[in-house]
Structure formats: structure tokens, C-alpha cells
Amino acid sequence: MIIKHVPMRTLRKSNVVSLVDYLTNTQGRQERVGEITVTNCHSDRPDAASLEMLNTQSLNTRAQSDKTYHLIVSFRPGEFPSAQTLRAIEARVCHRLGFGAHQRVSVLHHDTNNVHLHLAINKIHPIRYTLHEPYKAYRAFGELCDRLEDTFHLEPDNHRVRKTGGENRASDMERQAGIESLIGWMQRDCLKELRSSHSWPALHQVLHRHGLTIQPRGQGLVITDGQGTFVRASSVARDLSKQSLERRLGRFQPPGAVRTAKPTRQYEAKPVPSRMDTTALYARYQQDRLTRAQGRAVAMHEARTNKAQHIDAAKRAGQIKRDTIKLTMRGRITKKLLYAKVSQTLRSDLRQIMERHRRDCIAITARSQRMTWADWLRQQALAGDQEALRALRAREASRGLTGDTITAVGTRVFDAVVGAKQDSITKQGTIIYRVGLSAVRDDGTRLQVSREVTNDGIEAALRLAVHKYGTMIAVSGSDAFKQRVAQVAGQSRFTIRFDDPRLEQQRQRHVQDSRRPSTAETPSATGPTQTSSPLAPPSDAILRALAEHERKRLQVIRTPTVRRFEARDQGMVQFGSVEQIEGRHFALVYRQDETLVLSIDEGTYKRLASLSRGRSLHLNASGSIRLGRGHRR
């Protein structure tokens, strides 16, 4: 796992309400926003909590720095920590940084290959109204990650600081935007030559061949490409700092006479080198970017022209009214009142015109928003451009899915997926499909069940694998995952084969078990309608759907506690409702503040449907239902 602080350099851009709104916005994707937790606030709603945090910040009038602390806790690909683990990690991180008593909103995001937790923390204490800024928090991040990985058995990551701040920002730019930075280009193209230079003229010569110049600024040195891009020399490499270079080459010497020879290389903002040629795609991107810019300029000009015309029309109408009053009305007081009414109407019309113009500008900006190279590739891939999708997957930042995955043996058969709804595409080219209540990720060669590994998710992944890869399937991951895949494949009777002989034997055994006739006794008309053969318990996806249904029914903010029925829950309960999801039947019963869900057969579903909510029931350890009077259902 990695902990990262996202600082806001400009104070006027810092707004906790905007940050929480961004974090909780689904952006039209079901797999973006996960669990939302509000801590140390009076309200459980994130929008109300953000206003409460903003009100607390307004009570501190002395602080001149950013009053919001934005923290990101990211996990390794293939790791999906439970809700309890995430809450424990959040509490420990905030306590270590000194934010234990501060207001905060945490939001879990699933829209990338790395599940990550966003924390919007109010740096103003809710009682003392003092600002708390962690001292050298970056040192605590590595120590925290090591402890948390050991405590919660997470995959270890490298937490040693090996890059400067400039290098980290350049790496983030290349990873997020997909465009090569000046620092990255120099490190790949001319760093070795710069290190091998033994004099200042030789170093200036190397820089000139690459279209670069070095010059002093402040207490250090900066390198520029002559087109307005500057980087600190120490950000390219620590041994290029002013102190290191003067120790090696002597006192700094500026470049000599102006050279007439043209540079042989020149930095250009182009895509980061990848495993495929993106020249044609990048030309399309530049043309689309130019078209958007021109369209935005034209639309803005038309909007300004319309605004000026409407203002002139409103003023002319007001002047006509004033002239009419002057010529037709008598009485000084009457004219004064009518003039005031005309002025009030004119001001109202001008406000409406300006407000309409502001909305038009916002709409034009949204339509013509400049996109980075990686975002443009995502947009084209979502529209069905297979070349853009391959370009995303060919990026160096794309490492593919790891962990519990399902893949093909041999060559992929189909690209199209039948019965799956495409939810989104990550910047690594991973397609997220929605199949029923489950989500499956596809990186082109592997399939992975998103979030919790449930039987419904495994069945959906197997269906996708059959459509995409054919009948020969390979499964990788833990032994428990492989066994569950074999069990689901056997019970669902998929026409597939596993490349692992032991796994294939398990699948065939489950197929034979599913074909055996049930030995359960047929219930009588007055006996129990729930068969004695155990039914499959509800999956986590079904529990989430039922919990959301209960929240909407109760019209509450906090999602009620909904869990599976267990043997320890036997005893008296109150009937809630019966539900039918994906061809299966479930009963919801209440005990205190908990909602229990148990699987029932069709006969029990029909008989319980006639009961009223709140009716007393008795459950035994096996899940058999009896009415409060002793009649078995």
C-alpha cells in the first residue's frame, strides 16, 4: 500500500465542499464510488458534513494556508480489503498524523486497477479551532505503510524515498496524462552524456545538441528547452545540482558564443514510449484537440455576441419605456415611481442575461474541455475504438491484473462480450463490465472479479471467459479461489475445461454431484414448505442490493445493517418482506437493529408473501421458519 498527500498549492482553489463533491460523484460509473464514511461530524450525509467542515474552517480567521488535508491510501493491484480493514487503516493513519479528533470524509474508489481510499480531512480542530499541519508527514507515511502491511497481511510495497519531488511530479504526469515530461525525456536521452561531461563547455555542448540550456536561478541551476518549460537541474538527477556540478567541474561558466549549429534533438510533448506505434493516433488526438479549441473559441464568441445583443435590446426597451413615460404621464411623483419600476425591471433583465451567459459558458467549457492524451484514449476506447484500447494496454504504466484471475489457454477467440454492460475503462486499458449485480475486470488477457469474490461474480467471470476465450480456461491465484471456481463451474454446468488436471477433476465431481437427485423428503401440505436440502446463502452482491433497497424504503441516510442468517440467530424474529433477485428467493427478517437474510424455496416464498410486516416468526438453527403460534412455514 502507498499513502500520498495531495497538496493544494493555491489557497483560492482549496474548497472542502468541492473536494467532497468530486469524491462522491459517480461520474456515471457504477464501479467508481464505494463505501462512504463520515467521522466526527454531526451529520452522516457527506454533503452536509462538507458544509459543517466549511463552517468550522470559517471560525479560524488567522490561518493563511490550506485548511483541508487530502490524503490517498492506495493498495496493490488485486487487493480488495474488507470494510472493517479499511476503517481500521483510516483510523490508524489519522491518529498517527494527529487528525484523530478532526472531521473527515472518506470515500473508497474502485474505478482504477488499484483500489484507493480518499480522505478529505479538516485541518481545523472542531473544538479549539486551531490548524494542525503534520510535521514531515512523508517520513511517517513509509513507517505507517510498513506497520499496516504487516498488521493486516497486505502485499508489501517499496516505501523508500528514491526520487526528488520534481521527479515524482514528472512521473505522475507521465502516468496520468500519458505525455512525456521534460525530466523524463532528459533522463532517457541525455543523462548519461551529461554525467560523462568533464568540463562546462562539454556539458553546454551536450545540452545544445538536445536543444537545452542551463542557467543560474536563485541558489541553483535550471534547465530550459527555450519554449517556456523550466526544470531544476537537481530534479533531473541529484548529481546535476549546482553544488555537485561545481564540485566536479569547477565554478559555473555560462555558455560561450552563440552557436550556429542546429540541435540534433528537441524536446516535444509527445506520448510516453510504449509497446506500439501511436503516431497516427496522436495525430488524431492533436487534430481533435485543435478542433475542440476552435469550436470553443467560436462558441464563446457567439455567446458573447448574444449577450451583448440581449443587453442592448434590454437597454433599448428600457429607454423606450422611459421616453413613453416622459411624453404620456403627468405628475412628478407618478413619473418617479414609473421610472423606478423601469430601472428595477432593467436590472432584473440584465441579471438574467448575465446568469444565462454564465450557464452557456459553463456548458461550452464542458463540451470543449481539453483532455489529456490518456483521457482521450479512454474516450475513444469507450466509443469502441479497438486501436485506442490497444494503445492504453501498451503503455508502460499498464501492468495487467494480478491475483485471483481467469485467463485463456492459447489464443483469444472473441473480442465482443455478450450479456455484459461496459461500465468504464481505466487508463491502463482495463474494461470494467457490469453483469447483473457483479463487476468483472478485463485487461485483454485476464478476467478478475471486482471487489469481494462471490459466487455470482465468479459465475459472471466464467460466462465472460467462455464468450471471450472459448472452452479451455486457466485459473491462477489462491487454492481457495481455484476451488470456488471449480465448484461454481460444476454447479452451473458450463461447457468448459480447466488446464489444471486436479482442478478439472474437481469440476467434474461437482457436475456429478449437481446431477444427483435430491434425497430430501417431500413436504406435506401441512408440513414445512422449506426443503431440508440446504440452499445457497445470499452473496455479498445480493446483500448490498437488499441493503440499498431497505435504505430507500426506510428513507434514511445510513445504510442499515444487512447480513446473512447464521445458526446462532435462531429464535424469535419479526417478518420483514420477501424478495426475488436473479431467479432466487430470499426472506428478510428483523431482530433489533439488524436485518437478516436467508434463502428460501419458491413454495415458502409464495406462502410468506401473504404475511404482514412485523409478524412474529421463529427460526431454528437450520433456517426452518415457524409462525409465532407454532405453525411451521
Task: Tell me the pLDDT tens digit for each residue of 414-433.
Answer: 554 444 567 788 888 888 87
Hunting for cell 511530479 — which residue is that? 169
Question: What is the distance of C-alpha 75 from the center of its chain?
Answer: 13
Amino acid at 618: H
- Of 10, 12, 34, 11, the closest CA to residue 23 belongs to 34
Q: Which three cell numbers stand for residue 416?
A: 465482443
The CATH number corresponding to 2-151 among 3.40.1370.10, 3.40.50.300, 3.40.50.1820, 3.30.930.30 equals 3.30.930.30
Global confidence as pTM? 0.68
pLDDT band at 90 (very low <50, low <70, confident <90, very high): very high
Q: Which residues have C-beta within 8 Å of that of residue 561, sequence separation ≥ 6?
A: 547, 593, 594, 595
- For the cut 70, the answer to whether the pLDDT of residue 412 exceeds it is no
pLDDT band at 526 (very low <50, low <70, confident <90, very high): very low
Please name every residue paired with 625 in a beta bridge, in sequence order, or none if there are none.
619
Domain 540-627 grouped into CATH 2.40.160: no
- For the cut 50, the answer to whether the pLDDT of residue 525 exceeds it is no
Lowest-pLDDT choice from 74-88, 335-349, 432-446: 432-446
| Number of C-beta neighbours around residue 256 at 10 A | 10
* Half-sphere exposure at residue 404, Cβ-oriented, CA atoms within 13 angstroms: 21
- For residue 438, the model assigns a pLDDT of 65
Give the C-alpha separation, 421 to 418, whole Å.
9
- Please state, for a pLDDT cut of 70, what percent of the chain lies above it: 86
- Please state, for a pLDDT cut of 90, what percent of the chain lies above it: 27
Q: Are 540 and 564 in contact (CB under 8 A)?
A: no
Give the C-alpha separation, 159 to 164, whole Å.
14
Q: Of residues 529 and 316, which shows the higher confidence score?
A: 316
Per-residue burial over 329-367, b = 16 or more CB atoms within 10 Å of its CB, e = otherwise: eeeeeeeeebbeebeeebeebeeebeeebeebeeebeee
Please name every residue paired with 71 in a beta bridge, in sequence order, or none if there are none.
5, 119
Q: Which three cell numbers stand for residue 94?
A: 489519522
Give the C-alpha separation, 185 to 203, whole Å.
17
Domains of the chain, residue spans:
2-151, 399-515, 540-627
